[in-house]
Homo-oligomer: A and B are copies of this chain.
Amino acid sequence: MSNEIEIGTGKRGRRAYSFDDVAIVPSRRTRDPRDVSLNWQIDAFQFTIPVIAAPMDSVMSPQTAIALGKHGGLGVLDLEGLWTRYEDPTALLAEIAAMGSDDATARLQEIYSEPIKDELITARLQEIRAAGVTVAGALSPQRTQEHYETVLKAGVDLFVIRGTTVSAEHVSTASEPLNLKKFIYDLDVPVIVGGASTYQAGLHLMRTGAAGVLVGFGGGAAHTTRTSLGIHAPLATAVADVAAARRDYLDESGGRYVHVIADGGLGNSGDMVKAFACGADAIMVGAALARASEAPGAGYHWGSEAHHPELPRGERVHVGTVGTLQELLFGPGGRADGTTNVMGALRRSMATTGYSDLKEFQRVDVVVSPYQAR
């Protein structure tokens, strides 16, 4: 049935679904998990797992970006984070993990008021490149014009422009906004851009020439974005919508396949699996990797919204440490809660429903069945 609902006379809205609202159902075929491929490729870059680490200081340092690359995924360094503001942020990371909840927001605001330094951008990217893995860095749309030349000169394979909401048409009378279409056209490297959360927003970002579109709000701030701004885009619907835009744009562009990357709210392996089931090509993961013993956050996780100078909309949250990056991705796992061996879970879910590659798995049957706390 149609999912448009009359909220009141004169206001209608679509019913939208979160990953908690949906589940995958097995059907008549099953498959050997060893026959399942998790390979993913974007532009010329190939990965053995479809996992992109979120550019957040609690998740990615140059070291963890390298480690993830060696595990077959893609690490993305936040080029506006601690590693480009401070020569050695180690003590600050330790302080953030140790501080009390009451002062956390104020202290984060203070720590992040330190200016970004171009020479540190260069140094960090070169460190990653030296390790032989795919190099990717992220800027916000606000800072892209200021720093992108430094980034390109330092050398990146993939360039990520990530904000809570990024549109193809940003209007401002006070400053000259980033013209995404022209910017991406002029660049030599493929760009991943977002978040977008609707068909229209996704389609317009695809038309800028982006190689991938992030779907979601990013930064683990979804919850307080709803409380604070009233904004919420349930991800199952958002991913399915942008995936539909991908198909339509493929036709419109005469064959350009833009990758749909679910970003945010993927707290356990079940959520990750559902992202692919709803149409994602890859996933950008934050909290789930912040739980690694190697993670810079040392069991804590925060996004850039948490230290916004005027309107903080996220919080430093305790996610705990549950295993090594190896254990989180590939096991073995001593926990049954979807936090360890997340790639094994994806592989098994695909096998249980009879699929052998991620692209086909986008067609798997799902049901709507809201999660009920009891």
* Interface residues of A, Cβ cutoff 8 Å to B: 1-11, 13-20, 22-32, 34-35, 105-106, 109, 164-175, 177, 196-201, 203-204, 221, 224, 226-234, 236-241, 243-245, 247, 268-274, 277-279, 305-306, 309-315, 331-338, 341, 344-345, 348-349, 352-354, 365-374
Contacts and interface: CB of A to CB of B under 8 A. Distances in A.
Could you say which of A19, A22, A164 has the most chain B C-beta atoms within 10 Å of its C-beta? Answer: A22
Residue from the set A8, A204, A224 with the largest chain B CB neighbour count within 10 Å: A8
A39 to B, nearest CB: 16
B226 A371 contact: yes
A200 to B, nearest CB: 4
Contacts of A196: 26
A133 B191 CA distance: 53
Nearest to A224: B336
A334 B8 contact: no
5 contacts: A1-B1, A18-B369, A28-B198, A32-B170, A312-B333
Contact of A27 (B17, B201, B277): B201
A306 B335 CA distance: 9
A169 to B, nearest CB: 5
Contact of A352 (B14, B164, B234): B164
Contacts of A306: 336
Nearest to A233: B25
A22 B230 CA distance: 8
B338 A28 contact: no
A195 to B, nearest CB: 8
Nearest to A236: B7
Contact of A229 (B28, B234, B273): B273
A279 B6 contact: no
A143 to B, nearest CB: 15
A309 B332 contact: yes
B23 A352 contact: no
A363 B171 CA distance: 18
A354 B341 CA distance: 41
Q: Which of A169, A227, A245 has the most CB of B within 10 A?
A: A227
Contact of A367 (B19, B221, B232): B232
Contacts of A366: 7, 11, 13
A241 B227 CA distance: 24
A302 to B, nearest CB: 10
B198 A234 contact: no
Given A171-B30, A232-B367, A344 B310 contact: yes
Contacts of A373: 373-374
B9 A199 contact: yes
Nearest to A18: B369
Nearest to A173: B35
A234 B368 CA distance: 10
Contacts of A271: 230
Nearest to A105: B334
Contacts of A238: 8
Contact of A7 (B10, B169, B237, B341): B237
